[in-house]
Amino acid sequence: MPQALHEQSASALVPQLERREITAEQLVRACLDRIDAREGDVQAWEYLAADSALEQARQLDRRPVQGLLHGIPIAVKDLFDTADMPTTYGSPIYASHKPAADAAAVALCRAQGALMLGKTVTTEFATFKPGKTRNPHGLTHTPGGSSSGSAAAVADCMVPLAFASQTAASVIRPAAFCGVVGYKPSYGMVNRTGVKALSDSLDTIGFIARSVGDVALFAAATTSDRGLLQLDVSHAPRIALCHTHEWPHADEDTHKAFEHAARVLALAGMPIRELQLPLLFSQLMQAQKEIMAFDLVRSLAHERLRQPHLLSEHLNQVLDSGLEVPIERHYANLQLAQSARGMVSNAFGAFEVLLAPSAIGEAPDTLTQTGDPVFSRVWTLLGLPCVHLPFFKGRTGMPVGLQVVGRHGEDKVVLRVAKWLMERLAPV
Amino acid sequence: MPQALHEQSASALVPQLERREITAEQLVRACLDRIDAREGDVQAWEYLAADSALEQARQLDRRPVQGLLHGIPIAVKDLFDTADMPTTYGSPIYASHKPAADAAAVALCRAQGALMLGKTVTTEFATFKPGKTRNPHGLTHTPGGSSSGSAAAVADCMVPLAFASQTAASVIRPAAFCGVVGYKPSYGMVNRTGVKALSDSLDTIGFIARSVGDVALFAAATTSDRGLLQLDVSHAPRIALCHTHEWPHADEDTHKAFEHAARVLALAGMPIRELQLPLLFSQLMQAQKEIMAFDLVRSLAHERLRQPHLLSEHLNQVLDSGLEVPIERHYANLQLAQSARGMVSNAFGAFEVLLAPSAIGEAPDTLTQTGDPVFSRVWTLLGLPCVHLPFFKGRTGMPVGLQVVGRHGEDKVVLRVAKWLMERLAPV
């Protein structure tokens, strides 16, 4: 039996839409039916633009096909401004906020023929306080954050593609917990205009889908870099395992995911090599925390000055901690990050990519927090491209995986190797 | 006769406000009177919040003194979001736009006791199409752009401090043309949240005032870096003249400003040394242009998709040129910028700062364009701190000057040397 429309990948849907074998309206209806059936449980959506999406779909069905995403429905993390949908940033301060313009990334995808299905739940200002979303693989488990709704909606086949963003771990962690592919591009690659700013030197727009091919297509449409569509590997990839300085945090499920990956690579005739990051990098996690807090209290200066009572207690604490970072320490942190960014390409040595933990293990069985960002803070600070691969199950059957990490700017290499690895780690 | 309130510096006003020798209301009334007398000619303001500023002033007069800018009125470039004033970004698309929040920099200054007097004219999306503002030193001359209204309002003593921003030359050029001090900090120093984004790797918030002490105070209030207030020089500054690779563009007035500076330095017993920038840097101007156009067409994707007929013809041309930059070339440009940023600190050699042209010469005698950004594009791309010093007059009596340029992150050095130089180049 062929896959139902809502279960198919964007890469599979696009040619059918281009050949008019299916209509955008059919596809949107399939997604809406799935949402109707499952949203009561999963709670991925902050706002669903059902009527408007159907109308956009009908318009696209009448228009000549153009663009990489003609007729493809996209979910937009509610941290991204949208001109035709409310945008809350996950905060009651913006409960009735209507932005004047779409975020650039949204507009760029509309120009490629995509239609926006709705806004997905984010934590409070993409920080710590969870939204209502549950993990579709286990409704008592967190979906991870801050791109909670985006990861859950894609995992539950409500939509093929969803925008996400990462300042600490907000693309990779929810992708890991929900068992989908999450791609955080190199820092600076995707235009951030119109996405609520938290930390200028960390904020990165990312992509969530159910396959590596789909995150690559999504990124190509957003950046107009068609080179991202070329995912064939011309030689055996040079991959190192990298347990990272944060390895002691990893649990048994992540250990087993590593062992599985090592076994598969060995079977593929590839020697298992470990990459040790420079000792200096062990300081980067703390630096990332401090830079993020320092920036957050400034980025949210208006909200903190005018409506502090509408910020959660925990966020107010984080903001206070940002005021306690002395300015000299902040500059030292930036200097450290700069040095590490300068060193990391050499640190990769002969390897093209590293395979590293995405999260401690399975999604915690709680809805009161979104899990620990420990395994992504350093890569975010370094600005490196990362792709989470959902190829494993943990002891309770929840998704587990690892992330592929590459050199800054080598997103094409990372995506190619990610696809190569996914085919071997989780053969269909 | 003591200076009228509207003519005084913020640094002189703050202690009088703190000792309650003057009230914030008196100061605001003095500024409003000046605006009333001169705005018909100068046209610096997009929106004047007269009543609200008086009300804010009365509130501050009743409140205990706290913050670095208690009672000081500030003008806000109309590229910065303000929650209580309209924000047009210089475009008819946003003629009736009311942002939901203040830009972070605005909120941070409010938290330091400042009050916002109104919004100053910017060119269209801070790019090329001039607004209505005229140069107060010669009403047929451009004030420069894009921070046209901010520079003109400060030059005309309508307000002591004004926010500005620079992507190519938008702080330094209007400061030069209007004869005021303009300070573009190191890239990354000032939080940009809530300022309309044009080019992520170039956009920098800046400060305009009538003295070096005032831009330093303004920056200290915005960043909470009180180290910026310490402007004493402990040793003879190590200054080089740097004519730059763009020197052939400079006219006779800029030649004379250089000669004057060289003479003053020689009289101060300082050898006149020239710094040659690496040859590679001659490619940076073109790279800056291409990076800016590449980013602009993406940052304005929403406006271009939805309301292209409300963009000026010239801006539409610039946006088109951004689409014509191949993605590989864009990445090569970013790589070149990265290399140059890595080299520039060494290129300074034993010198602490460079003295370089700010503009071709006097403000052109036209209101149809805002002058050539040729002498700031490279410093903006390099992210270096720059302070324009208005110490000279050109052949028709319009202001001319030079900019002090320092290493990235060495803003304190640049401000100290700028003050030291200003006292010698334009003795009171």
Q: Examine residue A406 and state whether it is found in any structural domain, yes or no.
A: no
The CA–CA distances, whole Å, from B165 to A14, B138, B202, B284 equal: 42, 23, 10, 20
Residues of A in contact with B299 (CB under 8 A): 104, 191, 193
State which residue of chain A sits closest to B326, comparing Cα positions.
A225
pLDDT digits (tens, 9 = 90+) for B325-344: 999 999 999 999 999 999 99
Q: Which sign does the torsion angle of CA A33, A59, B302, B293 carry?
A: positive
Q: Of the candidates B100, B106, B191, which has its C-beta nearest A97's C-beta?
A: B100
Its domain, for residue B34, covers 5-229
ipTM of this model? 0.96
Does residue A95 belong to the interface with chain B, where contact is any CB pair within 8 Å?
Answer: no
Residues of B in contact with A228 (CB under 8 A): none
What pLDDT, on the 0 to 100 scale, is given for residue B201?
A: 96
Does residue A219 belong to the interface with chain B, where contact is any CB pair within 8 Å?
Answer: no
Rounded CA separation A267/A262 (Å): 9
Partner-chain contact A108 B298, CB within 8 Å: yes
Does residue A411 belong to the interface with chain B, where contact is any CB pair within 8 Å?
Answer: no
Q: Tokens for B183, please give them.
A: 């300070």
Partner-chain contact B108 A301, CB within 8 Å: yes
State which residue of chain B sits closest to A109, comparing Cα positions.
B301
Interface test with A, best of B302, B407, B412 (most A CBs within 10 A): B302
Q: Examine residue A355 and state whether it is found in any structural domain, yes or no.
A: no
Confidence of residue A271 (pLDDT cuts 50, 70, 90): confident
Provide the annotated active-site residues of B: 77, 146, 170
How close, in Å, is residue A219 to chain B by CA atoms?
13
How close, in Å, is residue A313 to chain B by CA atoms?
21
Q: Between vectors from CA B83 to CA B80 and to CA B88, what angle results, nearest 5°?
A: 45
Q: Examine residue A139 and state whether it is found in any structural domain, yes or no.
A: yes
State which residue of chain B sits closest to A228, comparing Cα positions.
B327
Residues of B in contact with A197 (CB under 8 A): 192-194
Residue A135 DSSP label: B
Share of residues in chain B with pLDDT > 70 (%) = 100
Helical packing angle, B212-223 and B10-18, nearest 10°: 60
Mean pLDDT of all residues in A81-110 = 98
Residues of A in contact with B97 (CB under 8 A): 100
DSSP A307-369: -GGGS-HHHHHHHHHHHTS-HHHHHHHHHHHHHHHHHHHHHTTT-SEEEEESSSSSPPS-SS-
Partner-chain contact A94 B100, CB within 8 Å: yes
pLDDT digits (tens, 9 = 90+) for A294-351: 999 999 999 999 999 999 999 999 999 999 999 999 999 999 999 999 999 999 999 9
Rounded CA separation A344/A341 (Å): 5
- The pLDDT of residue B28 is above 90: yes
Total number of domains constituting chain B: 1
What pLDDT, on the 0 to 100 scale, is given for residue A272?
A: 83
- CA A185, distance to chain mean position in Å, is 9
How close, in Å, is residue A306 to chain B by CA atoms?
9
pLDDT digits (tens, 9 = 90+) for B167-218: 999 999 999 999 999 999 999 999 999 999 999 999 999 999 999 999 999 9
Does residue A19 belong to the interface with chain B, where contact is any CB pair within 8 Å?
Answer: no
What pLDDT, on the 0 to 100 scale, is given for residue B65?
A: 95
Q: Of the candidates A224, A304, A331, which has its C-beta nearest B409's C-beta?
A: A331
Mean pLDDT of all residues in B397-420 = 98
Q: Tokens for B214, please give them.
A: 């005032």
State which residue of chain A sits closest to B226, comparing Cα positions.
A327
Average pLDDT score over chain B: 97
Confidence of residue A1 (pLDDT cuts 50, 70, 90): low
Judged on CB neighbours under 10 Å (0-12, 13-18, 19+), B393 is middle
Mean pLDDT of all residues in A200-212 = 98
Q: Of the candidates B94, B100, B191, which has its C-beta nearest A299's C-beta?
A: B191
What pLDDT, on the 0 to 100 scale, is given for residue B404?
A: 98
Confidence of residue B63 (pLDDT cuts 50, 70, 90): very high
What pLDDT, on the 0 to 100 scale, is given for residue B363?
A: 98
What pLDDT, on the 0 to 100 scale, is given for residue A428?
A: 64
Q: Are A6 and A28 in contact (CB under 8 A)?
A: no
3-state secondary structure of A183: strand
Q: Of the candidates A101, A295, A305, which has its C-beta nearest B111's C-beta?
A: A305
Q: Examine residue B270 and state whether it is found in any structural domain, yes or no.
A: no
What pLDDT, on the 0 to 100 scale, is given for residue B428?
A: 64
What pLDDT, on the 0 to 100 scale, is given for residue A427?
A: 74
How close, in Å, is residue B174 to chain A by CA atoms?
25
Helical packing angle, B10-18 and B24-42, nearest 10°: 150
For the stretch B315-319, contacts whose Cβ atoms lie closer than 8 Å and that sit 24 or more positions apart, written own/partner, are B315/B124, B315/B125, B315/B127, B315/B128, B315/B129, B318/B127, B318/B128, B318/B293, B319/B293
Q: Which sign does the torsion angle of CA A392, A396, A399, A402 carry?
A: negative
Q: Examine residue B57 and state whether it is found in any structural domain, yes or no.
A: yes
Q: Examine residue B344 and state whether it is found in any structural domain, yes or no.
A: no
3-state secondary structure of B120: strand
Residues of A in contact with B115 (CB under 8 A): none
Partner-chain contact A306 B83, CB within 8 Å: yes
How close, in Å, is residue B1 to chain A by CA atoms?
40
Q: Which sign does the torsion angle of CA B142, B145, B147, B151 carry?
A: negative
Q: Examine residue A306 and state whether it is found in any structural domain, yes or no.
A: no
pLDDT digits (tens, 9 = 90+) for B272-312: 899 999 999 999 999 999 999 999 999 999 999 999 999 99
Q: Examine residue A279 and state whether it is found in any structural domain, yes or no.
A: no
Mean pLDDT of all residues in B99-105 = 98
Residues of B in contact with A200 (CB under 8 A): 188, 191-193
Does residue B427 belong to the interface with chain A, where contact is any CB pair within 8 Å?
Answer: no
What pLDDT, on the 0 to 100 scale, is given for residue B70?
A: 98
Residues of A in contact with B108 (CB under 8 A): 298, 301
Q: Of the candidates B101, B110, B301, which has its C-beta nearest A303's C-beta?
A: B101
Interface test with A, best of B112, B191, B345, B381 (most A CBs within 10 A): B191
Confidence of residue B427 (pLDDT cuts 50, 70, 90): confident
Judged on CB neighbours under 10 Å (0-12, 13-18, 19+), A58 is middle
Does residue B94 belong to the interface with chain A, where contact is any CB pair within 8 Å?
Answer: yes
Mean pLDDT of all residues in A276-304 = 98
Backbone angles phi, psi at A204, to 5 degrees: -140, 130
Return the CATH number at B60.
3.90.1300.10
Residues of A in contact with B113 (CB under 8 A): none
Partner-chain contact B302 A409, CB within 8 Å: no
Partner-chain contact A225 B302, CB within 8 Å: no
Give the total residue count for chain A: 428
- The pLDDT of residue A2 is above 80: no
DSSP B5-73: GGGS-HHHHHHHHHTTSS-HHHHHHHHHHHHHHHHHHH--EEEE-HHHHHHHHHHHHHSPP-STTTT-E
Q: Are B194 and B99 in contact (CB under 8 A)?
A: yes
Provide the annotated active-site residues of A: 77, 146, 170
Number of Cβ pairs < 8 A linking chain A and chain B = 99
What pLDDT, on the 0 to 100 scale, is given for residue B1?
A: 63
Q: Of the candidates A97, A110, A305, which has its C-beta nearest B305's C-beta?
A: A110
User: Which B residues in the span 188-217 are in contact with A, Cβ-Cβ below 8 Å?
Assistant: 188, 191-194, 197, 200-201
User: Which A residues in the span 272-301 are in contact with B, Cβ-Cβ below 8 Å?
Assistant: 295, 298-301
Confidence of residue B256 (pLDDT cuts 50, 70, 90): very high
Confidence of residue A186 (pLDDT cuts 50, 70, 90): very high
Residues of B in contact with A301 (CB under 8 A): 102, 104, 107-108, 111, 191, 193
Mean pLDDT of all residues in B345-363 = 97
Q: Are A77 and A122 in contact (CB under 8 A)?
A: yes
Confidence of residue B372 (pLDDT cuts 50, 70, 90): very high
Partner-chain contact A107 B331, CB within 8 Å: no
Q: Of the candidates A104, A188, A300, which has its C-beta nearest B301's C-beta?
A: A104
